[in-house]
Amino acid sequence: MAEGLLQLKLTLADIRPPIWRRVFVSNKLTLQQFHQVIQAIAGWRDEHEHEFVIADERYGQPAPHEVVPVQNEALFRLHSLPLKEGATFAYVYDFHDRWQLEIKVEKILPPDPRGPSSSVIDGARAFPPENSGGALSYEMLPVRVDFDPERFDLRATNERLRLLP
């Protein structure tokens, strides 16, 4: 795949109504950098393990104790992966709470030298806070904490992205 931008739709699995974001990301990002983009979009603090599953291959941060080894995410750029328009892949965060994002490649676009390497253009609803118990606990969040599940602040989300190194 040539250098360019990916228009992706990120949808949090097993939550209804859906929590989603439509984003542009440079396909020059490594999976490790894309992980940081996702963390900023979700407002999470990178406190847990994660992995990507792309075309039945697992990518993450290799650890010697793993039974099934993962590919080192720092070594793979998005453009080097089998990501065509219409393709989907997964990002799993916090193996205990098991938040899973379904990521769909909506469009592959030429690079935009004027724009940021990552930006959110649309979305709905609030991502759950860090350590909030997974999809089964999500419905109870407004009762347990000061949390508005309908809140989505596009400007604040893009500000978090802008602050990434």
As given in the structure block, the two tokens for residue 133 are 């118990």
What does the alpha-carbon distance between residue 14 and residue 101 come to, in Å, rounded to a whole number? 9
Contact 105, 27 (CB under 8 A): no
Residue of 98, 77, 69 whose CA lies nearest to 32: 77
pLDDT digits (tens, 9 = 90+) for 54-83: 999 999 998 877 777 899 999 999 999 999
Whether the pLDDT of residue 144 is over 70: the answer is no
The alpha helices in the chain, defined as continuous H runs, are 31-42, 135-138, 141-144, 154-162
What's the alpha-carbon Rg for the chain, to the nearest Å? 16
Q: Convert the pLDDT of each residue in 35-53 to its tens digit.
A: 999 999 999 999 999 999 9
Pick one of 1.10.287.980, 3.90.1300.10, 3.10.290.30, 3.40.640.10 as the CATH number of 5-162.
3.10.290.30
Angle at 33 between CA 31 and CA 35, to 5 degrees: 70
Q: Where are the domains of the chain?
A: 5-162
This prediction's pTM: 0.93
pLDDT band per the 50, 70, 90 thresholds, residue 131: confident
